[in-house]
Amino acid sequence: MLDNLIWGYVYPNESEIQWSILIVLYPYITGLVAGAFIASSLYHVFGKNEIKPVARFALLTALSFLLVAMLPLLVHLGRPERGIEIMFTPHLTSAMSGFGYIFSFYLIIVVLEIWLSFREDIVKKALSSHGWKELLYSSLALFSFDISEKALHDDEKFARKLAIIGIPSAAFLHGYVGFIFGGIKANPWWSTPLMPIIFLMSAIVSGIALLILLYIAAMKIRKHAIDHKCLQSLAHYLWIFLILDVTLELLEIISMKYASREDIDIINRLLSDKIGFTFWGVQLTLGILIPFILLLMVNFIKKRDTLKMIMISISCIFVVIGVFAMRWNVVIGGQEISKSLVGTLTYVPVFFSQEGVLPAIIIFMLPFIILRVVTAILPPWKDMEEETQKLK
């Protein structure tokens, strides 16, 4: 059976794929975090008021995904109990060693940002509720109940400063994930200086698309009308970042093909055979080309908000799938070519195993559950529902 999965000559130690679907999930989840955060800072930093209805919801989304971002890595380790050593004794020449710190720093920023933007709500709740709820919200408010105009104004100023730090750190968090792959000179499919920025662009794209989908879903569940101005504005940003994303992705392929170095034969085989469908079909056509056209049409169609909403939703579903395919093509694709440059392997996902599809599905469900809990404690719905109608 093994022989059918291997073509050409691969080094004997390469018969097993080392990084499985969990490692595909890891950049996917961190990407969603970075994207959702950057979407929220469109309002918090750049003052795009049309994004306001989802700005705080985007922060909660970022937090929910951030809390599980570490999990796929940890589950994948051969010795998970030693994982913490990355924090205690980081080996600084390793691109991976900074992960714990960058992750923690970013977590602090996101939590602070959420606290500041929800503080007024928290204090009001603490003052108006009784029993354990009062205790919960009072402790969330850190027993500081000053919501005078001046205090709120200071909050806002500080939140804005934080968001300004937040953008480069979100970019760093994910660009850095790209560098984990881009810095591996042994692998011709990974080793490119474009990798961090490609990761970042696709992260923003996937984060905005997820945010749009979650927003539409939340409004449908809460039976509330959608703020089409906000939706179309998000879709517009999605479209712009899609263009940046596809430019970089194509630039990488084009320069590889044009330079035609020693590794071009194996790269060509990878692109035509191993990941041919997931790359050209899912990542580029389904994930970028079709959403690009749909979103372009959204820009031109006048009125007909429901139709636009359907088109935007379809685009976002495709984008989210396409970016997952992109992570897959990088992580799995890079391991499906042998470092001998004259052979390929095939990754066959297993369902039930420590590194199988099942734990991946479970891990990917977690952020949605966390988001449900977080939004129950800190409801962001007011922002979305202020100006729109309750549907009957």
Q: Which stretch binds another protein (CB under 8 A): 91-99, 138-146, 197-205, 372-380?
A: 91-99
Binding mask 189-208 for another protein (x = CB under 8 A): --------------------
Query: 5, 45, 96, 377: which one contacts another protein (CB under 8 A)?
Result: 96
Q: Which stretch binds another protein (CB under 8 A): 60-68, 83-91, 147-155, 360-368?
A: 83-91
Query: 49, 82, 254, 277: which one contacts another protein (CB under 8 A)?
Result: 82
Between CA 345 and CA 334 the distance in angstroms is: 10
User: Is 20 in contact with 355 (CB distance < 8 Å)?
Assistant: yes
Query: 187, 232, 285, 388: which one contacts another protein (CB under 8 A)?
Result: 187
For 1, 193, 259, 374, 389, the CA distances from 223, given in Å and listed in that order, are 53, 46, 55, 20, 9
Select 83 or 281, whichever has its Cβ closest to another protein.
83
Does 105 interact with another protein (rule: CB under 8 A)? no
Q: Which residues contact 250 (CB under 8 A, 6 or more apart)?
A: none
Select 8 or 356, whichever has its Cβ closest to another protein.
8
- Token pair in block for residue 85: 């050593």
Between CA 267 and CA 364 the distance in angstroms is: 30
Binding mask 205-224 for another protein (x = CB under 8 A): --------------------
Q: What are phi and psi of 346, to 5 degrees?
A: -130, 130
For 40, 300, 331, 385, the CA distances from 215, given in Å and listed in that order, are 13, 23, 30, 11
CB atoms within 10 A of CB 280: 16
Does 4 interact with another protein (rule: CB under 8 A)? no
Select 96 or 253, whichever has its Cβ closest to another protein.
96
Binding mask 154-183 for another protein (x = CB under 8 A): --------------------------x--x
Binding mask 295-334 for another protein (x = CB under 8 A): ----------------------------------------
Query: 5, 7, 50, 83: which one contacts another protein (CB under 8 A)?
Result: 83
Q: Which residues contact 259 (CB under 8 A, 6 or more apart)?
A: none
Select 202 or 338, whichever has its Cβ closest to another protein.
338
- Token pair in block for residue 19: 């990084």
Alpha helices in the chain (DSSP H): 2-5, 21-44, 52-69, 71-76, 85-88, 99-128, 132-140, 149-182, 195-221, 228-259, 264-269, 276, 290-300, 305-336, 357-377, 381-385
- Token pair in block for residue 123: 């204090």
Query: 5, 7, 19, 388: which one contacts another protein (CB under 8 A)?
Result: 19
Half-sphere exposure of 66 (CA within 13 A, CB side): 27
Does 1 interact with another protein (rule: CB under 8 A)? no
**By three-state DSSP, how is residue 15 classified?**
helix
Query: 1, 4, 13, 302: which one contacts another protein (CB under 8 A)?
Result: 13
User: Is 45 in contact with 164 (CB distance < 8 Å)?
Assistant: yes
Binding mask 334-363 for another protein (x = CB under 8 A): -x--xxxxxx--------------------
What is the smallest separation between the CB atom of 10 and another protein, expressed in angstroms? 8
What is the smallest separation between the CB atom of 79 and another protein, expressed in angstroms? 5
**By three-state DSSP, how is residue 342 classified?**
strand
Query: 5, 7, 14, 225: which one contacts another protein (CB under 8 A)?
Result: 14
Query: 1, 4, 79, 302: which one contacts another protein (CB under 8 A)?
Result: 79
Binding site for another protein (CB under 8 A): 8-16, 18-19, 73, 76-80, 82-83, 85-86, 89-91, 93-97, 99, 180, 183-187, 335, 338-343
